[in-house]
A = this chain, B = another copy of it.
């Protein structure tokens, strides 16, 4: 009995097409920005129908490996952070991730982001960070706006940290966590003022280039958030009930 029964995966034609093109993109034969042939030509090249090619292309488009600036142009592209973030957030929402889960991760990533931002932020970014912070202070009346700006504030700090891996890891978590503020805010009025205070400290520390302080306040800020969540009794509640709107 020497016959190896390797499970062979049945590969559909459209899948093979996608796979082959993807291979050439990933190994560098096709570079981002490069233009791809039309569907008819691709169909001829692979010896399949246009319908089949289309189904394959859909997958690549969906993966963000190719992209159509206009229906008439098909080019290789780098996956966009936003696309990835959205998908990941959505997946977490469907998995019924709890505030506890999100918080645990945020407690690891957010101080790191603040730390690195303090190290690497540019002068232009300092200005923009202060702008966002100022706008945030003005938005106390509107919860939705506060959430949007809060998310943006932290996201911007992560951008300033200039680490794509960190971005990818934290964005989906942050998106869901800060959104939870809507459920927390009504329960704890002090949350708002404490949050504003923390934001100020974080902003100052980052702009001053004080990594330790930035990290410390980043941590404190997230810890505060946890207290509010706990007070609201939401620790083990799914961060999002239905995943709609992501």
Check if A58 is an interface residue, CB within 8 A of chain B: yes
A81 to chain B, nearest CB (A): 8
How often does this chain occur in the complex, in copies? 2
Cβ contacts under 8 Å, A101 to chain B: 163-166
Check if A54 is an interface residue, CB within 8 A of chain B: yes
Interface size class of A (residues with CB under 8 A): 35 or more
A108 to chain B, nearest CB (A): 4
Whole-angstrom distance between the alpha carbons of A246 and B55 in the complex? Answer: 21
Check if A208 is an interface residue, CB within 8 A of chain B: no
Q: When the two chains form their complex, are residues B243 and A105 in contact, meaning their CB atoms are under 8 A apart? A: no
Complex interface: stretch among A34-42, A91-99, A133-141, A198-206: A91-99
Q: When the two chains form their complex, are residues B109 and A169 in contact, meaning their CB atoms are under 8 A apart? A: yes
Name A's interface SS: helix
A78 to chain B, nearest CB (A): 5
Interface positions, chain A 18-50, Cβ under 8 Å from B, are: 23, 26-28, 32
A65 to chain B, nearest CB (A): 8
Name the one of B58, B63, B94, B169 contacting A169, with C-beta atoms under 8 angstroms: B169
Cβ contacts under 8 Å, A84 to chain B: 87-88, 91
Interface positions, chain A 156-200, Cβ under 8 Å from B, are: 163-166, 168-170, 172-173
Chain B residue nearest in CB terms to A79: B91
Q: When the two chains form their complex, are residues A26 and B62 in contact, meaning their CB atoms are under 8 A apart? A: no
Whole-angstrom distance between the alpha carbons of A90 and B79 in the complex? Answer: 9
Interface positions, chain A 96-112, Cβ under 8 Å from B, are: 97, 101-102, 104-105, 107-109, 112
Check if A244 is an interface residue, CB within 8 A of chain B: yes
Cβ contacts under 8 Å, A107 to chain B: 112
Whole-angstrom distance between the alpha carbons of A165 and B87 in the complex? Answer: 13
A197 to chain B, nearest CB (A): 24
A118 to chain B, nearest CB (A): 13
Q: When the two chains form their complex, are residues A26 and B169 in contact, meaning their CB atoms are under 8 A apart? A: no
Check if A116 is an interface residue, CB within 8 A of chain B: yes
A244 to chain B, nearest CB (A): 4
Whole-angstrom distance between the alpha carbons of A242 and B28 in the complex? Answer: 6
| 5 A–B contacts from the bound complex (CB under 8 Å) | A58-B58, A58-B62, A79-B87, A102-B165, A169-B172
